[in-house]
Structure 1
């Protein structure tokens, strides 16, 4: 499968490497630097590059490249999934904005993570919850009450269990489940009321406070139909007590619009425009909407009369510059007494 993993800086320096097979040498990092990192300045390259019979699959985070190298005909989707999961593990251990210096300062811990997540080039244990049981950052897992850390039987059971993303022995005084459905409605309507484009992008967010290892089943109404690929299968109880995204979906047909706006405008001279809006709700009378805002864009304006006459950029190489000027006037304490 994967012959080697490289963590390479944006300058092409190898920050850290781990070899799992002997068919790839450190010279592969030089080829990646010359043909991928250097070429990034002149164009955009695909995330897979074949150089001298080696396949380089890479992703980028901040100033680091996470590179997987192999000489075999590997499953690209599996390798990218491993790289993305490895990036998530690094974020949970070192923070969301880890960089080259973070990896150098914690290289011992990084090697431990690479050894646990991959065995002879094959991805193994990539669950951060399980890894944190026996690979801890900054302090040892052993305590006076438990000198050996987590019991080996518990680690073995969780690593080889069918549900590795949730540890056993979780208990709550009150067993609760929170399920939130968030939908974003996108609509484009012509001036005569014809719908040109509409879609609903939704997500189901879940928070579980349940004891033990329960199995949850979610039922949806039969009327809802989603195209294949728009709604991935949910992974139940992915986090113990944290909020997590259970699923995403997208609907483009049979959409119930919540509002309908009927505008009417009339020009009154060269500097005045009269706009009348009629807003009608299309949902059930038993429901009500709050914080409904209608935004009408107007030309850029400054109350003080300030105008930017010019904006010039001077540089030795005289490179072309795209310049943007925007006027934004906001209401402070704007009161009219009658």
Structure 2
């Protein structure tokens, strides 16, 4: 339960505040700036929460701002308060586009309106941007005229008083469609010899709803227990094709074996599950069914993560000759032959003053990026099982000797190779949609659900050289 919310500048001095409870003094925020300075002197990393004189200072940083929430009770729901602070930034992004000190100073009226609606007595209330925009406007900084017959009295939209606050009534489409995208981003750190040091799968189930009325959707994912724990052990496992008669061979690309055991696991254990508020959590916990009334438009239905060992999907063997700048790279798509990686980009680091590049390659295009000290090898289409190669020679005009050359090449080679790619119709984890049922009890229309799978490189898919 938060007692107050403050917007502060980069030094911790308050710009705007909203108090919800009277259990903290007005001067409490004056200590925030000095507390930040003390923590910065102690360590380069600021803790997200500072306790002083019985007051908890919980804050996040965004651009040149600190957004802080103050509370007195040590039993306050910390995760709820931090989630609310991030939600404030998301809502302000929808209103102000850029949330920074200047935009806060120029729009304090609309921010006060939003803070009044988003929290009451220290508890979060309305946090959906679409709902807030129905009666709080940034153009005139006044409440919209919802009912002209009532002397222009501003009233909240009716959906705020309903149980389904994220979806208004009366939505109509000529063609009712639901688009479902399952996007998995792969983060991986690989050694020069191909050993995987770190790997994880970050998944996102994204829905785009173009459905009339108030539809009720049911989503089934891997009926054989994708959300259940394994019968043996707690490790994550994916059945290899052919090892289990019931295993689906559509998306299972890799086989993961639990530590200390040679037995294959047939189920997938998703970690860090996060659902949109429209999902009925009680029904999911009891029946493992994802049932929901979707918001109109695009939204993230579910996010998940798997920290597990998987083989590299795109593997690069890069060697650099030290006696001269000569780079050789072999890239191999270690995916099924029926799968094709698209928009593959391989970024190879080179010394900062290298010039006069000469390229030889079997497929794609190669470009030298001197401003980034990189060679960019682009392959538009990379079928599974294929192996392509390239070679490059570059000059170093300012070298003083072979030792200088070896030192500079060695320093540059410490930077890893970055790989970017996208593989449609494929998921690494094996997650698969079994059905997507749409039921609108009043309109009873026909629907056209569309499902798409995409695996892509994450922000950290790197190979050491």
Alpha carbons of structure 1 residues 46 and 226: separation in structure 2 relative to 1, 3 Å: farther
Paired residue secondary structure (2:273):
coil
1:282-334 Cα offsets, whole Å, 9 max, x none, are: 4154x44444556666666212754399xxxxxxxxxxxxxxx989xxxxxxx
Moved more, 127-136 or 31-40: 31-40
Alpha carbons of structure 1 residues 17 and 302: separation in structure 2 relative to 1, 3 Å: same
Structure 1: segments with no counterpart, 5+ residues? 310-324, 328-338
Q: 2:274 aligns with which of 232, 245, 264?
A: 232
- 1:274, CA displacement in angstroms? 9.4
Hey, what does 1:86 align to over in structure 2?
88
Alpha carbons of structure 1 residues 273 and 164: separation in structure 2 relative to 1, 3 Å: same
Paired residue secondary structure (2:272):
coil
Q: Which has the higher strand share?
A: 2
> Take 1:176 and 1:227, find their aligned partners in 2: how far apart are those partners?
30
Pairing of 1:1-338 with structure 2 (within 5 A) = 1-37=1-37, 39-40=39-40, 43=43, 44-72=45-73, 73-95=75-97, 97-139=98-140, 141-142=144-145, 152=155, 155=157, 157-186=158-187, 198-221=199-222, 222=224, 225-236=267-278, 239-242=295-298, 244-252=299-307, 271=324, 277=330, 279=332, 282-285=335-338, 287-292=339-344, 301-303=354-356, 305-307=396-398
> Take 2:88 and 2:63, find their aligned partners in 1: how far apart are those partners?
14
> Take 1:38 and 1:306, find their aligned partners in 2: how far apart are those partners?
49
Q: Is the 8 A contact 2:145 2:154 kept in 1?
A: no
Q: Is the 8 A contact 1:204 1:245 kept in 2?
A: yes
- 1:209, CA displacement in angstroms? 1.0
- 1:170, CA displacement in angstroms? 1.5
Q: TM-score, normalized by length of structure 2?
A: 0.55
- 1:127, CA displacement in angstroms? 2.0
- 1:143, CA displacement in angstroms? 8.2
Greater relative CO, 1 or 2 (CA 8 Å, sep 6+): 2
> Take 2:325 and 2:20, find their aligned partners in 1: how far apart are those partners?
73
- 1:136, CA displacement in angstroms? 0.9
Moved more, 251-260 or 220-229: 251-260
Q: Is the 8 A contact 1:226 1:249 kept in 2?
A: no
Paired residue secondary structure (1:79):
helix
RMSD: 3.9
Alpha carbons of structure 1 residues 181 and 266: separation in structure 2 relative to 1, 3 Å: same
Paired residue secondary structure (1:74):
coil
Paired residue secondary structure (1:102):
helix
1:116-135 Cα offsets, whole Å, 9 max, x none, are: 12222222222222211211
Alpha carbons of structure 1 residues 302 and 135: separation in structure 2 relative to 1, 3 Å: same
Structure 2: segments with no counterpart, 5+ residues? 227-266, 279-292, 357-394, 401-410, 414-465
> Take 1:104 and 1:257, find their aligned partners in 2: how far apart are those partners?
49
Q: Is the 8 A contact 1:134 1:150 kept in 2?
A: no
Alpha carbons of structure 1 residues 302 and 69: separation in structure 2 relative to 1, 3 Å: same
1:247-282 Cα offsets, whole Å, 9 max, x none, are: 233345585765677x69899x96597968484654
> Take 2:32 and 2:346, find their aligned partners in 1: how far apart are those partners?
52
Alpha carbons of structure 1 residues 239 and 35: separation in structure 2 relative to 1, 3 Å: same
